[in-house]
């Protein structure tokens, strides 16, 4: 099959879902790659991708900001405005003419403005999640007026486009199973692959609590700041030698200021796997967001006992006390983290259950089967359209 893979960024380790799915498709199909870049570093990243043919379109910061501002007056989502230079559409049409792909794979919501430009060529969208839900959450519970205003502006626009894609019957790949009663047609579960081959430290592990995540993402920063403010001292009181290791990209000043009192920061690390090897507990204190939190899946895949919120656990489909430990208030978080640090045998049993669950649902073999099922829908739809 000939596939044109279109992305608003360069898939890399900081965007592992995009990267691994591209690798899976390129291993079995003839794949061409079309994407936006901001700088020379991203151009160099693109050269490492497992494709022979790459078309890169410059998306300057100033231009993307201007298009987002213009989108305010058109009713279009700011996300798609940001990633919609005319040169990208022109490059897409040129690839359609020259390559004549069997399918166009559009990566995340920022590329859905290209659906109509694909004409009669079948399209599949790796939507990852119905992102409008996150902006609904921002609108009501954002950390400040600016975030709440963004949520109010963006939620309705994004939802309108998501609903339009569903009505048009565009196949949509989602990384998380739909919650009961929220199932939608034309959607296919393709979880984010995770195959961590982390060698866990042998013998006793120091009481290290690990947080991994993009620190340019508001929900990550909000959850981490809450954990440090409301829970960390209580955990230190219960386990005096506990330390918190924060590993993330582009930490804001608020996160940088957390260092001290047993807290250390490792910014822009080239790889996160080594930090799981000697972690006693991993945390995902996320209260806003949609889809599956990959930080939780990574920790479970690495065999690290994990604590998260009920929202995150429900989205992933894991059970409290079986695969992970769940808490939603500061008292619960302090108790759950301290218990895992203090009872390593029980923690290891839960971690083993979690790792087995990840192998069943998020391993490359499992996700490859899910991806194949999603792509199989294209041929079945072609038969329906032809009739």
Contacts of 330 by beta carbon, 8 Å cutoff, 6+ apart: 230, 231, 234
In this prediction, residues 168-183 reach a mean pLDDT of: 88
Domains parsed from the chain with CATH numbers: 2-193+364-386 (3.40.50.2000), 208-362 (3.40.50.2000)
Contacts of 367 by beta carbon, 8 Å cutoff, 6+ apart: 20, 21, 24, 190, 191, 192, 193
User: Are 171 and 374 a contacting pair, CB within 8 Å?
Assistant: yes
Neighbour count for residue 317 (Cβ, 10 Å):
14
Closest listed residue to residue 260, CA positions, set 279, 232, 284 = 232
Under the banding of pLDDT at 50, 70 and 90, the label for residue 331 is very high
Neighbour count for residue 275 (Cβ, 10 Å):
22
Q: 260: left (phi > 0), else alpha (psi -120 to 50), else beta?
A: left
pLDDT of residue 387: 31
C-alpha span between 285 and 266 (Å, rounded): 18
In this prediction, residues 161-173 reach a mean pLDDT of: 95
User: Are 301 and 196 a contacting pair, CB within 8 Å?
Assistant: yes
Under the banding of pLDDT at 50, 70 and 90, the label for residue 307 is very high
| pLDDT over 50 at 149, yes or no | yes
Under the banding of pLDDT at 50, 70 and 90, the label for residue 313 is very high
C-alpha span between 190 and 197 (Å, rounded): 21
pLDDT digits (tens, 9 = 90+) for 53-86: 999 999 998 999 999 999 988 989 999 999 999 9
pLDDT of residue 380: 59
User: Are 371 and 189 a contacting pair, CB within 8 Å?
Assistant: no
Question: Which of 98-107, 170-179, 308-317 ranks highest by mean pLDDT?
Answer: 98-107
pLDDT digits (tens, 9 = 90+) for 198-255: 767 677 789 999 999 989 888 899 999 999 999 999 999 999 999 999 999 999 999 9
In this prediction, residues 379-387 reach a mean pLDDT of: 48
Which residue is associated with the tokens 């579960």?
189
Q: What is the mean pLDDT of the chain?
A: 92
**How big is the chain by its Cα radius of gyration, in Å?**
21
| pLDDT over 90 at 183, yes or no | no
Under the banding of pLDDT at 50, 70 and 90, the label for residue 379 is confident
pLDDT of residue 386: 35
pLDDT of residue 381: 55
* More confident call, 14 vs 299: 299
pLDDT digits (tens, 9 = 90+) for 314-330: 989 999 999 999 999 99
In this prediction, residues 85-105 reach a mean pLDDT of: 97
Helix (H) or strand (E) holding 310: helix 310-316
Under the banding of pLDDT at 50, 70 and 90, the label for residue 384 is very low
Is 194 strand, coil or helix? coil
Helix (H) or strand (E) holding 95: helix 86-99
pLDDT of residue 143: 83
């Amino acid at each position: 099959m000939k596939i044109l893979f279109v992305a608003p960024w360069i898939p890399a380790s900081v965007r592992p879902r995009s990267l691994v799915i591209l690798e899976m498709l390129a291993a079995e199909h003839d794949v061409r790659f079309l994407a936006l870049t901001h700088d020379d570093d991203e151009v160099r990243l693109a050269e490492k991708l497992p494709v022979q043919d790459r078309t890169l379109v410059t998306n300057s910061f100033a231009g993307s900001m201007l298009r987002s501002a213009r989108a305010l007056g058109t009713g279009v989502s700011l996300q798609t405005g940001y990633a919609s230079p005319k040169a990208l559409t022109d490059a897409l049409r040129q690839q359609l003419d020259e390559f004549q792909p069997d399918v166009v794979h559009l990566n995340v919501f920022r590329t859905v403005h290209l659906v109509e430009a694909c004409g009669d060529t079948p399209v599949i969208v790796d939507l990852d999640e119905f992102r409008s839900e996150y902006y609904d959450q921002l609108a009501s519970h954002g950390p400040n007026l600016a975030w709440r205003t963004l949520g109010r502006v963006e939620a309705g626009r994004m939802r309108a486009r998501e609903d339009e894609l569903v009505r048009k019957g565009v196949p949509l790949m989602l990384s998380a199973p739909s919650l009961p009663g929220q199932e939608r047609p034309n959607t296919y579960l393709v979880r984010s692959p995770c195959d961590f081959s982390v060698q866990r430290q042998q013998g006793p592990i120091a009481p290290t609590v690990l947080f991994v995540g993009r620190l340019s993402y508001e929900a990550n920063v909000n959850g981490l700041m809450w954990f440090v403010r409301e829970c960390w001292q209580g955990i230190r009181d219960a386990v005096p030698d506990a330390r918190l290791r924060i590993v993330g990209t582009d930490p804001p000043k608020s996160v940088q200021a957390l260092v001290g009192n047993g807290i250390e920061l490792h910014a822009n690390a080239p790889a996160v796997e080594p930090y799981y090897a000697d972690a006693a507990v991993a945390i995902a204190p996320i209260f806003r967001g949609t889809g599956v939190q990959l930080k939780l899946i990574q920790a479970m895949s690495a065999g690290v006992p994990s604590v998260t919120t009920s929202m995150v656990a429900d989205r992933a489909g894991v059970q409290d006390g079986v695969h992970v430990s769940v808490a939603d208030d500061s008292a619960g978080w302090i108790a759950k983290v301290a218990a895992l640090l203090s009872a390593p045998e029980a923690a290891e049993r839960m971690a083993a259950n979690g790792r087995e669950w990840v192998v069943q649902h998020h391993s490359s073999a499992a996700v490859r089967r899910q991806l194949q099922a999603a792509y199989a829908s294209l041929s079945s739809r072609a038969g329906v359209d032809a009739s």
